[in-house]
A and B are shown apart, each in its own frame.
Chain A
Amino acid sequence: MTAVPLLEITNLTVEFTTRRGIVKAVKQVDISVAKGETVGIVGESGSGKSVTSFAVMRILDRAGRVAEGSISFSGFDLTNAPEFAVRDLRGREMSMIFQNPRAALNPIRKVGRQIEDVLRQHARTGSGDARTRAIEALANVRINRPEDRYDAYPFELSGGMCQRVVIALALACRPELLIADEPTTGLDVTTQKAVMDLIVDLTRERGMSTVLITHDLGLAAAYCDKVVVMEKGEVVETAAARDIFARPSHAYTRKLMRATPRPGIALRDLLPEGAPVAAIKQPAASDAALLSVKGLVKEYPRVHTRSLISRYLRKGNETASAPFRAVDGISFDIRRGESVGLVGESGCGKSTTSMMVMRLLDPTSGSIIFNGQEIGELPARTFAGNSLRSKIQMVFQDPTESLNPRFTAVRAISDPILRLDKPMAADALRARCEDLARVVGLPPDLLDRFPHQLSGGQKARVGIARAIALNPDLVILDEPTAALDVSVQAVVLNLLADLKATLGMSYLFVSHDLHVVGLLCDRVIVMQNGQIVEEGITKQVLEAPTADYTRALISAIPHPPV
């Protein structure tokens, strides 16, 4: 380690001018990154971790400004340097990669050209060998057939591939510092592992320094030398990665650590120390199957690339290409009072399956028997008018997007009651919604607020209250905590477990996160390519997986060293 750090952030305060006055997003932050070091900045949403990195790159948006403090890079003062000087550093000496890699690339420019733009900007290349250098950059991030990929557009590449391109773009000019802002959020665990390993390999190889910004403590612990924990714009703890997990000194770090799902713990362990908790009652799961799915298949026709005329002309000898099977003949049961996890990576068919069970999508073939009644044949289009609708409800992935922005919380919760239940007087309805709010732990005085006036956790509670408003037998939870911070996720998962115990519902829990599923579910089903590759008691599947795919999934999850 050299004496002079590569990046030195001293006493940094960043302010944003908003309609409600000046907001300090980052307060007196000190962070230093030595040459060759990997530093993790960990925190939940609103902790100021991204704003700090934008301030370093000097790409804060119009409303934000550095109010005090200084940022120096190799002894060069970034805070007061003129824009052209900083622009010259960006991409050449310090680079940044972002979350949502597909959106981070220009959608209508070939990826090779985008890398060339950076190379040209920093005069690393003449026009003659720009293409060669860009292909080289693609090859460096281990993209197969880089010559062909040069001509690809972002929409033609997978999310993981796009992130590789973004990394290639960031590293094309061999910078000394790489800032990775949630580089793997939204990617599958196996892709996440591949991308993180790539970043680590490349930065080690080149002796680069890395700042990894993440909400995932496990990820930070697995890949960083030093971890900086931020809360509400302030640094609460800085320590070596090994020490911070062994001896977290700040209460917030301890809370974060506890809330991170990991193997060998129970649901209650996620909650902060000293939280008043009762043991989760284990309802007796009866043997009778509530839901029985048999040979479920969903096919989609391949996209027709042939034109209208040629289709018309060749109407007779239609050479039908085999349709795509999103769900390929799966069968499983859910017993009354049981919760079953449905796990797999994106594109494995888990969402399609849940949509069919939910009766939002018609299956191609197979049967769905709910409470002894075949519901697979009831058309999805008219199922909303069926009395069974109230017995199968759903909690959606994004608590914000799944609430009508013009409905207050009480209106959202009462929606299924108004549509499916007997008409009732306004005050009775209000009382019922207040009861429901109490059950899900939502303070009743928040009921008259609109979604944008509620926090993420509160919105999640509204979504859950809406789902249980009609006392359903089966609730389908589609990644209900994926958009939430870990501490909020901990509370919501516990709430779901308690609700199931008191109300005697069954859950179908759809998720990509095996640890989360492990905490909430009795049994787990692992899907790959539309088929079930493994099914069994959660504990057994997690501790002694039989399928290779399950093993790959489990080993790809980054573990904190505890």
Chain B
Amino acid sequence: MMKLLLDRLLTTIPALIGVVVASFLLTRVLPGDTAAYFAGPAATPQAIEQLRQQLGLDRPLPEQFGHYVVDLAKGDLGKSLTTGQPVLSDIKARLPASAELTLFGLILALLIAVPLGIAAAVRQGTVVDHACRAIATAGVSLPVFFTGLLLIYVFYYILQWSPAPLGRLDVFTSAPRGVTGFYLIDSLIAGDGETFRASFSQILLPGITLAIFSLAPIARITRASMLSALSSDFIRTARAAGLGARTIIVTYAFRNAMLPVITTLGMVFSFLLGANVLVEKVFAWPGIGSYAVEALIASDFAPVQGFVLTMAILYIVLNLLIDLTYRVIDPRMRNAS
């Protein structure tokens, strides 16, 4: 198993090198002058030129790239000009926020979509099936910023059940001591029920917003792969052997139908993690997506490069996890070279 892990990590090195080069080049190619932006609208050309020299932007590209790679090797992702903080600490602070929100939304979506997909496949062509299709279509058709705003309007403005959509915690609660960076988990570790409740009520609306959006792909793929599993020969054998409906559906069909569901899950997760900028904006969530977009608008290279690299690493780790899960589920994968 360790050997496999190492093997897989080794094969990702070329991809990572590619990401480093591409993210560096792309940020330089983009229009926009960093020095001019940060010097401010009133700056004189001399001041801009001076700032440019300070930032090292007057150097030839290969030299800039060299510096970048050397810093990277030391674990230094550079400094954000917008926040004034090292990019690494910015990302460290913001990644858990995004990850917690995405995971929360995804787990919520899973809890609804998987049973729904299974029910739709088992009762194919019935009301359940049509309901599944309707819910999935509606979920994916509504833009997240719209669902988000609607939820805020109903639950915060009208019903006042929900706290103000202003980040991960209200102003009266302080963040729990960081162990995982996930407030829900950290507050539980600290045994702080108050903070847990506070952060839970904050994450609920954006989590639901994400869940509604990611329901559709999960429910549909569950339904499709359940249908093909249910029509296979071994299900007929199981039925002929008189096994109970529960055993047939869960142990026999669903375990075989899980692989495509997990693949979809991985894709949805990595997509949402970086791309739910709109949800983060609507709920003032201090996440990594909005951080990267703000930096991009300001032509602030270091955070953008750091962001792209982080996402690439996450993606690799995620895929590795999915592969390992495959092996746990499907014995045929274990001997495949």
Number of B residues, CB within 8 Å of A: 30
Bound form: Cα–Cα A89–B242 in Å: 7
Task: For the complex, give the distance between the alpha carbons of A305 and B252 in Å.
Answer: 29
**Is the beta-carbon distance between A170 and B242 smaller than 8 angstroms?**
no
Beyond A307-B7, A309-B6, A309-B7, whether A106 also contacts B234 by CB under 8 A is: yes
Asked if B233 contacts A103 (CB within 8 A), the reply is: yes
Q: B11 on the interface (CB 8 Å rule)?
A: yes
* Least distance between A175 CB and chain B CB atoms (Å): 10
Instruction: Say yes or no: B239 contacts A59, CB within 8 Å.
Output: yes
Chain A proximity of B37: nearest CB distance (Å): 46
A303 to B, closest residue via Cβ: B337
Q: B247–A117 contact, CB under 8 A?
A: yes
The answer on a CB contact under 8 Å between B234 and A105 is yes
A to B contact number (C-beta, < 8 Å): 94
Among A90-98, A259-267, A497-505, the one that faces the other chain is A90-98
Which one of A106, A170, A308 has the highest number of Cβ atoms from chain B below 10 Å of its Cβ? A106
Contacts of A100 in B (CB 8 A): 233
Assembly CA distance A303 to B335 (angstroms): 10
B242 & A121 in contact (Cβ 8 Å cutoff) = yes
Q: Which residues of A contact B6 (CB under 8 A)?
A: 307, 309
Contact status A108-B329, CB under 8 Å: yes
Instruction: Pick from A91, A304, A308, A309: contact of B240, CB below 8 A.
Output: A91
Q: When chains A and B are docked, how far (Å) is the Cα of A307 from the Cα of B331?
A: 18
- Among residues 267 to 321 in chain A, which have CB atoms less than 8 Å away from a CB atom of chain B? 303-305, 307-310
- Report which of A62, A95, A304, A308 forms a contact with B241, defined as CB distance below 8 A: A95
Kindly report which residue of chain B lies nearest to residue A308, judged by CB atoms.
Answer: B7
Q: B residues 228-248 with Cβ under 8 Å of A?
A: 232-234, 236-244, 247
Which residues of A112-138 have CB atoms within 8 Å of chain B's CB atoms? 117-118, 121-122
Contact of A117 among B233, B243, B255, B256 (CB under 8 A): B243
Bitwise interface map of B from 11 to 29 toward A, beta carbon under 8 Å scored 1, else 0: 1000000000000000000
Interface residues of B in 308-337 (CB under 8 A from A): 329-332, 335, 337
CA distance A121 to B251 in the complex (A): 13
Does chain A have a CB within 8 A of B74?
A: no
Kindly state the separation between the CA atoms of A303 and B240 in the bound complex, as whole angstroms. Answer: 37
B247, B251, B331 — most chain A CB neighbours (10 Å): B331
B244 touches A107 (CB 8 A): no
Closest to A311 in B: B7
Q: Please give, as numbers and ranges, the residues of chain B lying within 8 Å of A95 by CB-CB distance.
A: 240-241
A90 touches B242 (CB 8 A): yes
Contact A107 B332 (CB under 8 A): yes
Verify A90–B232 contact, CB threshold 8 A.
no
Contact (Cβ within 8 A) A104 B255: no
With an 8 A cutoff between CB atoms, is A155 at the interface? yes
- Bound-state Cα–Cα, A305 to B242, Å: 40
Contacts of A87 in B (CB 8 A): 242, 244
Query: Across the interface, which residues of A come within 8 angstroms of B124, CB to CB?
Result: 62
Residues of A within 8 A of B244 (CB): 87, 121
Q: A103-B232, A118-B242 are in contact. Are A98 and B251 (CB under 8 A)?
A: no
Task: Please measure, in the bound complex, the distance between the C-alpha atom of A374 and the C-alpha atom of B90, giving whole angstroms.
Answer: 70
- Residue in B closest to A151 when the chains form the complex, CB atoms: B331
Q: Are A96 and B242 in contact (CB under 8 A)?
A: no
User: Is the Cβ of B256 less than 8 Å from the Cβ of A104?
Assistant: no
Give residues of chain A (459-488) contacting chain B, Cβ–Cβ below 8 Å. none
A526 CB to closest chain B CB, in angstroms? Answer: 33
In the assembled complex, the Cα of A98 lies from the Cα of B236 at a distance in Å of 9
A551 on interface, CB distance cutoff 8 Å:
no
In the complex formed, the residue of A with least CB distance to B4 is A307
* Residue numbers in A under 8 Å from B329 (CB-CB): 108
Pair A108/B255 contact, Cβ less than 8 Å: yes
Give the interface of A toward B (CB within 8 A): 57, 59, 62, 87-92, 95-96, 98, 100, 103-109, 117-118, 121-122, 153, 155, 166, 169-170, 303-305, 307-310
Instruction: Taking A87-B244, A98-B236, A170-B240 as given, write out 18 further A-B residue pairs in contact, using a Cβ cutoff of 8 Å, ordered by the A residue number.
Output: A90-B241, A91-B241, A95-B240, A98-B233, A100-B233, A104-B233, A104-B236, A106-B234, A107-B256, A108-B329, A109-B252, A109-B255, A121-B241, A121-B243, A121-B244, A153-B332, A155-B331, A309-B6
Q: Which residues of B contact A (CB under 8 A)?
A: 3-4, 6-7, 10-11, 124, 232-234, 236-244, 247, 251-252, 255-256, 329-332, 335, 337
